[in-house]
Structure 1
């Protein structure tokens, strides 16, 4: 099986020391990316670690496909215990940093401990520089990137950083890379902030050899020539469909259709798009650089989930207003889904839906924990009671679009996903709109036959996240091609995906997350029976826990600390 290569670089922020360890067995068993990050965290992070404490560790990882020049591979992974969900969490970001990471020669980078002053870390194939950067306290993403360009001669694609939200430990703070791309969900930016790390750069000339088969060029050629609507509208191409089938959360989830959808849909985004945008090596080019010259707003996006969270869910019907919310979150370093939903919860509590000025003012307050922003920075699960609104989250993670009350298999996916209410964990919504061929589609109503199909998709996506391969490669990277690219039988790859899901769940079980956490804020007919079927098929207990014996033979043990 093809896998990432290189040792584990462990960076102790407390002592400002580094060490290396051989992780060949882990890489060979878990491919790279999310799989390797999960295995390392499971074996090296204490089960009772405080997400914002020194014992939590954060892992950066890539996969074998970052050694190719194939489309859909400009991505990488970060893994840590989430301050938002309190469970093990992997977040995936696009952009241009992944190949600079592989150039360092490392298979994984671990951050442990915590610094007593704000640091910049510069990781190269020659070692690590610890640079105190007190003057960057409170700096935005752009200000931080500008500093690195001037002081280190490195452009944005070498940099991962946090904004004020991460420094202030906002529980849904992002790690930003390539300036406008985000390790968005789960609050891993707050983990960096708690560790006193403002930024980390990757650079080198030690990329290791991974032999990728010629099929990569077929995928790349098809990505370049396909006339896909996402090339014009990105994920916002689904906005009208979501609204049409009553799956577009509106006014803090109180409605499922938005009367102002025409002001924020894919056509409006396409009108504001002024150039192509892409990730490293990708010819699909589905990103969305947008600009409104009249109001002086320029950003990358918004994608569909931001259109939902800051648009329909806040009852905002002007795409430029949503663009501004998107840019604020990018500059301040916050997940647009969790931030938008939390702002929507606040608007609901104040009966202020559609108040754009209040939306933008509240985003700023959250990032700096000023006034009501200090409460909202804790996320919906921790602030809903004081606001007097319902808790629209699963395991502490706020909901995206693709509403599970209509797309009921997606609802089941939200309930059981180890990350919580995350649409990318299995992208089950694609089967129910549907966005796939008719022979793969499923009736959006009911849960019959969906638990096993959900498991298959979760396992498959765990492999993609370990590869690392973009989820929008659907239709280009077929099952057969994925097996050829990774040099393993497809069924054996799916077994790797299953082990990754097991490890995530086992870690979370030790933190008290079980069946009681696999719940939704709405009734879903048949969900208890579906949970039983899901757990049985996974080999878990009826309480949603992983038997210890199931982890036997789950791959090479992660190395112990020096």
Structure 2
């Protein structure tokens, strides 16, 4: 089976030491990306670790496809113990980091310990250098990029950086690469902040060789370049009006399910502000959304659909430029737009301030610096809702994505059982329900489909290939590329899901966390069916026998 090549680089920022480990054996079982990082995290992070303590670890990892020149592969994975969900979590980002990362000669970089001083870590194929950067304390992401460029000729595509939100331990702070591409969900930016790591750079000339079928690569690249896809013009916002009109667009902190100003924040509104094409590394699909508004002097990348929801409809904001500004603030401060927008929306609900864009932007800044009411909101909805006096719209502590499980019930089931919580990318049952491949009504009989989706997405995030490649990267092509039968790949994906769940079980999480803040038809029966099909216990825990026997990095 195709897998990433390259060593594990461990960096202990407590004493500024490094070591490398050959992990070829475990890579052969877990491919790379999310798979290898999950296995390492499961084995190396103590089950009782504090997410913001020195025993937590952060894993940055590539898959074998980052060692190719194939479209849809400009992505990277990051894994660690989440300060938002208190469980093991992986997240990924696009941009141009991946090729610089693999050229450093490593497949995984592990950050452990905690530094006494704010650090920049510079990783090349010749070694690791530590740079104390006290002058960059509370600097924004673009300010760090400017400083690294001036000092070391490093560009945004070489860097993973936290903004003020990460330093201030905002629970949904995220690392940023390319100044606007976020490792978005779960708060791993706060974990780097707890370790006093401001930025990490990657460069080198030691890309390990990986042989990938040239015909498949060429076909994917050609189709990515020539297809007439609405995503190239409007990104994920292309479906905003369709979802609002036919399903549900959560509005005013989930109190309504359609937004009367949807046309002012949807795909056409975003396309009107788009001023050039943008892509990820070596990808010909070019679906990114550089936007600007001349009148207000706002230039950003996006917003994508989730940000249109979180800072648009859910905050009662009907002006795309206001949403663009919220998007840009989150990028420069280093925060997940979904969790941040929902936290702001919860505040607006509590104070009857929906539609107040000026207040929204003020709150985003206050959250990043934990000033005044921003200190409470920086904890996220799960920890703030009681004091705010609003309903807790989270699962496992993670704020909901836009695709409303009250309307597409398979996606609701996915939110309930997903190890990551209420995140739409864990299984994307939503796509099957929007397209009519399965009936959006009810959860009965959907557990088997959900399991295949979860397993597939674990492989996607281990490979790593983009979620937007689905219409172009066929099952047969995956078998050719990965040199394995599709069912064999799904088995690897299942291992990843089980390791995540097993780790969380050891932290006391079980079926009690697999719940929603609303009722769905047959939900409890469908959750039990999900456990049974997975071979798990009735209380949502993984039998020890299911995770025994995997090769470890130390074998």
The two structures have a TM-score, normalised by structure 1, of: 0.98
What is the alpha-carbon distance in structure 2 between the residues aligned to residue 59 and residue 245 of structure 1? Answer: 40
> What corresponds to 2:280 in structure 1?
279
> What corresponds to 2:508 in structure 1?
512
Displacement of 1:478 in angstroms is: 1.0
> What corresponds to 1:34 in structure 2?
34
Q: Which moved more, 1:483-492 or 1:299-308?
A: 483-492
Q: Aligned runs of 1:121-520 on 2, under 5 Å?
A: 121-214=121-214, 215-434=216-435, 441-520=437-516
Q: Tell whether the 8 Å contact from 2:444 to 2:523 is kept in structure 1 after alignment.
A: no
What is the alpha-carbon distance in structure 2 between the residues aligned to residue 71 and residue 557 of structure 1? Answer: 32
What is the alpha-carbon distance in structure 2 between the residues aligned to residue 382 and residue 242 of structure 1? Answer: 30
What is the alpha-carbon distance in structure 2 between the residues aligned to residue 156 and residue 76 of structure 1? Answer: 15
Displacement of 1:519 in angstroms is: 0.4
The Cα offsets for residues 242-300 of structure 1, whole Å up to 9 and x where unpaired, read as 10123111000001000010110000000000000110011111100001001101100
SS at match of 2:217: helix
Can you give the 5+ residue segments of structure 2 that lack an aligned partner in the other structure? none
The Cα offsets for residues 358-408 of structure 1, whole Å up to 9 and x where unpaired, read as 000000000000000001000000000000000000000000111000000
What is the alpha-carbon distance in structure 2 between the residues aligned to residue 268 and residue 556 of structure 1? Answer: 51
> What corresponds to 2:517 in structure 1?
521
Q: Tell whether the 8 Å contact from 1:46 to 1:56 is kept in structure 2 after alignment.
A: yes
Q: Tell whether the 8 Å contact from 1:67 to 1:212 is kept in structure 2 after alignment.
A: no
Q: Tell whether the 8 Å contact from 1:44 to 1:558 is kept in structure 2 after alignment.
A: no
Equivalenced residue count is 554
The Cα offsets for residues 325-360 of structure 1, whole Å up to 9 and x where unpaired, read as 000000000000000000000000000000001000
Displacement of 1:216 in angstroms is: 1.1
Q: Which moved more, 1:239-248 or 1:191-200?
A: 239-248
What is the alpha-carbon distance in structure 2 between the residues aligned to residue 297 and residue 166 of structure 1? Answer: 23
Q: Which moved more, 1:55-64 or 1:446-455?
A: 446-455
> What corresponds to 2:84 in structure 1?
84
Q: Tell whether the 8 Å contact from 1:80 to 1:90 is kept in structure 2 after alignment.
A: yes
Can you give the 5+ residue segments of structure 1 that lack an aligned partner in the other structure? none
SS at match of 1:107: strand
What is the alpha-carbon distance in structure 1 between the residues aligned to residue 157 and residue 341 of structure 2? Answer: 26
What is the alpha-carbon distance in structure 1 between the residues aligned to residue 248 and residue 495 of structure 2? Answer: 32
The Cα offsets for residues 161-206 of structure 1, whole Å up to 9 and x where unpaired, read as 0000000000000100011100010000000000000000001110
Q: Tell whether the 8 Å contact from 2:189 to 2:334 is kept in structure 1 after alignment.
A: yes
CA RMSD in angstroms comes to 0.7
Q: Which runs of 4+ in 1 moved over 4 A?
A: none
Displacement of 1:208 in angstroms is: 0.5
The Cα offsets for residues 410-467 of structure 1, whole Å up to 9 and x where unpaired, read as 0000000000001000111001111xxx6xx111001122100000000000000000
Q: Tell whether the 8 Å contact from 1:170 to 1:190 is kept in structure 2 after alignment.
A: yes
What is the alpha-carbon distance in structure 2 between the residues aligned to residue 513 and residue 227 of structure 1? Answer: 45
Displacement of 1:558 in angstroms is: 2.5
Given the alignment, which residue of 552, 555, 559 partners 2:554?
A: 559
What is the alpha-carbon distance in structure 2 between the residues aligned to residue 94 and residue 531 of structure 1? Answer: 32
Q: Which moved more, 1:307-316 or 1:20-29?
A: 20-29
Q: Tell whether the 8 Å contact from 1:75 to 1:468 is kept in structure 2 after alignment.
A: yes
Displacement of 1:475 in angstroms is: 1.2
Displacement of 1:552 in angstroms is: 2.3
Displacement of 1:226 in angstroms is: 0.7
